[in-house]
Homo-oligomer: A and B are copies of this chain.
Amino acid sequence: MEEQKENTERTGDISKEKQDNVMFIGGKPLVNYVRGIIIQFKKKEASEVVVKSRGKFISKAVDAAEVAKRSLEDISVYIKEVNIASESFETNDKKTNISTMDIVLAR
């Protein structure tokens, strides 16, 4: 549910076409995300897929990117870029920071 909300918030201002190349990592099983990435490259012929994650899901995002990369060796998919950052938000007047990571897979 939370994951859904995030998706809307964070991709609300970009086009549908762009959204297709973004994979948000959340609480679903790893294989779902791996499959999602593979579909982007194979079926939708994306040249790049951005794997986005926050907080505790960052480890899973690295797993998803690495597993997908190995599965897509035949079309030479590689890790083009990894960026980490923080987002801060306020809850009950308390400022909290959460780490974020974007992994760009490209062929």
Instruction: Give bound CA distance, A20 to B7, whole Å.
Output: 40
Most B-side CB within 10 Å, residue of A57, A62, A67, A101: A62
Copy number in the complex reads: 2
Q: In the complex, which residues 85-107 of chain A have their Cβ closer than 8 Å to any Cβ of chain B?
A: 85-86, 97, 99, 101, 103
- Given A57-B59, A58-B59 in contact, is the A66-B86 Cβ separation under 8 Å? yes
Contacts of A55 in B (CB 8 A): 59
> Is A99 within 8 A of B66, CB to CB?
yes
- Interface range, A side: 20 to 34
The digit string for A27-51, where 1 denotes a CB below 8 A from any CB of B, is 0000000000000000000000000
Tell whether A83 is near chain B: CB-to-CB under 8 Å: yes
- Shortest C-beta distance, A32 to chain B (Å), equals 17
Given the complex, which residues of B lie within 8 Å of A65, measured CB to CB? 84
Chain A positions near chain B (C-beta within 8 angstroms): 55-59, 62-63, 65-67, 70, 79, 82-86, 97, 99, 101, 103
